[in-house]
C-alpha cells in the first residue's frame, strides 16, 4: 500500500507498506520528475535494497560530498554515489559518472550504484572499474559484447564484509 500526500510548493510525502517486490518502481516512475527528486528516490530505493541485504546505510549531512551514502559492512565503510536512469536508447541505459564537471575518482568514492528504474535492477560498480570515464552504458536486455559492466549486475556482495560473505556462501545450497 502506498500513501501519497501532495502539499503546496511541490512537496510530496510517500509512505510505503507491504512492499511486494515491485512497488518501488511504480512509486518512482509515478512521482514528479526533476533531477533532484529522481536522485532522492534512487537513494531511497538504494537504502531499501541495501538494508534488506543486512547492510547499514548512513547519509552524510548536506550535499557537499561527492558520495551520496555511506554503507557499513562489518568493519569497513564504503562511499557510494547513487545514479539512476529511466530511459533506454539504442538498447542501452546510460548514466553520467561525474559530479558537476569532473569524473569520480578513487579518492572520492568507492562504488557507483546505478539503478535501472524500469527494470528494478542495480549495478554496483567499483570506481576502479570505470574511472576516469564520465559516461557508463548498461546493456541489461541483450547479449551485447559492449556490456562491460554486466559482471557488476546486482553485485551487492562486493560491499559485504568477509564474515558476511563466508556466512552467505556457507548457507547456499
pLDDT tens figures, 116-154: 999 999 999 999 999 888 888 898 876 655 678 999 999
- Whole-angstrom distance, CA of residue 80 vs CA of residue 70: 6
pTM metric for this prediction: 0.74
- Cα-based distances in Å from 96 to 13, 124, 161, 166: 28, 15, 28, 34
Q: Exposed (0-12), middle (13-18) or buried (19+): which is 87, by Cβ within 10 Å? A: exposed
- Whole-angstrom distance, CA of residue 31 vs CA of residue 99: 24
Q: Specify whether the CB–CB gap between 159 and 152 falls below 8 A.
A: no
Question: Of residues 173 and 131, which shows the higher confidence score?
Answer: 131
Q: Architecture of 34-171 per CATH?
A: 3-Layer(aba) Sandwich (3.40)
Amino acid at each position: 500500500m502506498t500513501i501519497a500526500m501532495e502539499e503546496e510548493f511541490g512537496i510530496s510525502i510517500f509512505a510505503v507498506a507491504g512492499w511486494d517486490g515491485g512497488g518501488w518502481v511504480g512509486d518512482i516512475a509515478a512521482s514528479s520528475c526533476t533531477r533532484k527528486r529522481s536522485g532522492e528516490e534512487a537513494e531511497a530505493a538504494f537504502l531499501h535494497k541495501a538494508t534488506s541485504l543486512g547492510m547499514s546505510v548512513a547519509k552524510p549531512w548536506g550535499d557537499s560530498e561527492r558520495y551520496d551514502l555511506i554503507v557499513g559492512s562489518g568493519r569497513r565503510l564504503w562511499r557510494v554515489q547513487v545514479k539512476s536512469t529511466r530511459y533506454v536508447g539504442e538498447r542501452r541505459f546510460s548514466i553520467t559518472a561525474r559530479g558537476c564537471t569532473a569524473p569520480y575518482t578513487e579518492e572520492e568514492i568507492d562504488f557507483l550504484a546505478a539503478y535501472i528504474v524500469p527494470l528494478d535492477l542495480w549495478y554496483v560498480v567499483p570506481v576502479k572499474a570505470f574511472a576516469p570515464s564520465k559516461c557508463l552504458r548498461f546493456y541489461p536486455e541483450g547479449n551485447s559484447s559492449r556490456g562491460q559492466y554486466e559482471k557488476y549486475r546486482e553485485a551487492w556482495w562486493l560491499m559485504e564484509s568477509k564474515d558476511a560473505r563466508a556466512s552467505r556462501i556457507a548457507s547456499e545450497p
